[in-house]
Amino acid sequence: MYASLKSIGAYAPSRILSNFHLEEMVETSDEWIEKRTGIKERRIASAEEATSDLGVQAALKAIERAGIAKEEIDLIICATLSPDYLCMPSTACVIAGKLDINNVMAFDISAACSGFVYMLSMAKAFIESGMKKNILLIGAEKISSMIDYTDRGTCILFGDGAGAAIIGATENKNEAILDIHASADGRYGDLLITPGCGSKYPCSQETLDNKLNYIKMQGNEVYKVAVKTLTNDVIDILEKNNIDASQVDHFIPHQANFRIIEAVRAKLNFPIEKTVLTVAKYGNTSAASIPMAINDAYEEGRIKKGDLMLLDTFGGGFTWASALVRFGGQ
């Protein structure tokens, strides 16, 4: 019995925040942002939309495309760094409530931008052990709620969105999740951090005045570690599975920065046509980034059943992960 990615869905809020809008907000330019990151615009959720609302829209699509009834779902996991509520209830529980899927295990995981691939490895274990049959995974972010729109080092990078997938069982290895590597190195935690409103610096007027509730990043350092770690990790997973880069049908990296993607792609000699790129239109949507990218390629008709996808991702923690996944959907 293997775990299989049976369907994909995504949702992007309608409001667009372009580089030109940002030019009016901070000292930056469309040219600078595009040259350094490849981002042209990102989506921003409305004041009425919470992370769970984005997740629900993505989940509905994934459930419909899997051809299952929502009552067949027996586990819901949500990866997010911008949950509806800081502690409880979890965003997975809020989503379960909104979808009216009751009496199933539901919880959030915290692995920043690596969240989707991290929970994919958990889903693989739950399915292969026989503990669960149909798992709903949601990567959802209203990351705009964590951004200081006076900080040009971060506000240009991130956007809102959600992606979802149904993971089920298959006996066919040609439709299976083949392997996942997920790892972390906590020594780099301070380079990408939301310091405030947790137990270390509880929410207070001082915390808010010092803007500790927003994402802080040492971009240059993050960039260097990301390129090195991702390249090594992708080479490692291909070698361990005896798969040559030429056998991969779709390289689907975390959409943080075009230059990071390009560095890994060039090192592995992946053709650009096999690389899925959404960074220009969505920016970095953290845990939603990979499922949104898979969904875009799926809706363009690029991904077919049995195609081999190579996923790779990197995020705060630091966390990173890569996966070899044969698409199991229709």
Cα–Cα dist 280/258, whole Å: 8
113, 155, 250, 257: the active-site residue:
113
Question: Please, what is the minimum distance in Å from the beta carbon of residue 18 to ligand COA?
Answer: 14
Q: Is 135 exposed, middle or buried (0-12, 13-18, 19+ CB in 10 A)?
A: buried
Question: Please, what is the minimum distance in Å from the beta carbon of residue 83 to ligand COA?
Answer: 18
Select 270 or 320, whichever has its Cβ closest to ligand COA.
320
Question: Please, what is the minimum distance in Å from the beta carbon of residue 93 to ligand COA?
Answer: 26
Interface contacts to ligand COA, rule CB under 6 A: 28, 32-33, 36-37, 113, 152-153, 156, 217, 219-220, 222-223, 226, 256-257, 284, 314-315
134, 181, 213, 254: the active-site residue:
254
Select 56 or 113, whichever has its Cβ closest to ligand COA.
113
Type of residue found at 76: I
Query: Which residue minimizes CB distance to ligand COA?
Result: 219
Q: How far out from the chain centre does Cα 189 lie?
A: 19
List the Cα angle 231/2/318 in 5-degree steps. Answer: 30
Q: Are 113 and 254 in contact (CB under 8 A)?
A: yes
Active site residue 254: yes
Select 36 or 133, whichever has its Cβ closest to ligand COA.
36
**Closest residue by Cα to residue 163 from 291, 297, 300, 312:** 291
DSSP output for 89-148: S-HHHHHHHHHT--SSEEEEE--GGGHHHHHHHHHHHHHHTTS-S-EEEEEEE-GGGG--
Count CB atoms within 10 A of the CB of residue 121: 17
**Closest residue by Cα to residue 137 from 157, 151, 152, 123:** 123
Q: Provide the 3-class DSSP secondary structure of residue 161.
A: strand
Active site residue 21: no
Question: Please, what is the minimum distance in Å from the beta carbon of residue 1 to ligand COA?
Answer: 33
19, 134, 213, 284: the active-site residue:
284
Select 206 or 221, whichever has its Cβ closest to ligand COA.
221
Select 296 or 312, whichever has its Cβ closest to ligand COA.
312
Active site residue 155: no
Question: Please, what is the minimum distance in Å from the beta carbon of residue 219 to ligand COA?
Answer: 3
Q: Which residues are catalytic?
A: 113, 254, 284
